[in-house]
Structures are given as C-alpha cells and as structure tokens.
C-alpha cells in the first residue's frame, strides 16, 4: 500500500512512515526523528490525495483519509 524511499537505508532514515488501511480508509503516521532539521514529505494516494507536508524537527504527524476527506494533525515545534 505504501512505498517509502530515500537516499539512506530505512533504519538510518530520520523520517519514519507507518500506515494502516481498512474499509477504504487509511491512517498514516509520520515521525520526524531528526532533532535539528525539518523535512518535507510527499504523501500520495492515487486519485485521492497528493499532499506535501513540512515536518518540524522532532514531530509527529498523522493523516486520516476517508470518504469525507483528510484530517491532518500533529505535534511538534
């Protein structure tokens, strides 16, 4: 369902992405573990979603994607 790519191996990447899909809806959790830098992340879902998010350092962002739209929430600097 979700492809994560980057120039470093997944274990050394500062941004981690986890996703769960059920009944046509999706929950996506994005963690920026970098203590000093913000990172841009693009989240796409064919025909439904194309979002670019700027994640502050040491932040948590979640997306709930459903029939009625997208809810984005986060905790960070």
Residue at 3 is within a domain: no
| Residue-level pLDDT at 5 | 55
Residue at 53 is within a domain: yes
Residue at 55 is within a domain: yes
Looking at the structure of the chain, the number of domains it has is: 1
Residue pair 2/28 in contact by the 8 Å Cβ criterion: yes
Q: What is the pTM of this model?
A: 0.77
Q: Can you give the CATH number for the domain in which 50 is found?
A: 2.60.40
3-state SS, residue 34: coil
Domain carrying residue 31: 14-75
Question: Which residues in the chain show pLDDT less than 50?
Answer: none
Residue at 46 is within a domain: yes
User: Cα separation of 76 and 1, whole Å?
Assistant: 27
| Residue-level pLDDT at 16 | 87
Token readout for 50 is 């194309």
Radius of gyration of the chain (CA): 13
């Amino acid at each position: 369902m979700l492809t994560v790519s980057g120039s470093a191996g997944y274990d050394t990447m500062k941004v981690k992405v986890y996703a769960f899909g059920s009944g046509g809806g999706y929950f996506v959790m994005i963690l920026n573990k970098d203590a000093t830098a913000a990172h841009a992340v693009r989240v796409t879902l064919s025909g439904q979603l194309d979002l670019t998010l700027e994640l502050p350092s040491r932040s948590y962002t979640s997306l709930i994607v459903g029939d009625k739209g997208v809810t984005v929430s986060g905790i960070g600097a």
